[in-house]
Amino acid sequence: MADDWGLCMDCKWWQIEPQGKIEPHTLGLCIDEDLQPFLLRVSGDSGCNHFMAGEPARAVGSASAPPTAKATR
């Protein structure tokens, strides 16, 4: 179970602004298919068990409150 857990800044389901830096306090949108309905705005040092290693996606509006971006994956 612990193998599935990881930080958002290392996850392909984290979507940040196009010019955003991959850092612990950068805010972005979780675009995991199961979690999209909740419009979860999370920081790079957030984490969960939906983790999938990869580069974050990027789209304008990902860090807005509430997020206005659509999932790009």
pLDDT for the residue 3: 72
Structure confidence by residue, pLDDT tens digits, 8-67? 999 999 999 999 999 999 999 999 999 999 999 999 999 999 999 999 999 999 999 999
Question: Between the CA of residue 61 and those of 12, 27, 40, what are the distances in Å?
Answer: 17, 11, 13
Confidence of residue 73 (pLDDT cuts 50, 70, 90): confident
pLDDT for the residue 1: 55
The whole-model pTM stands at 0.93
CA distance 73 to 71: 6
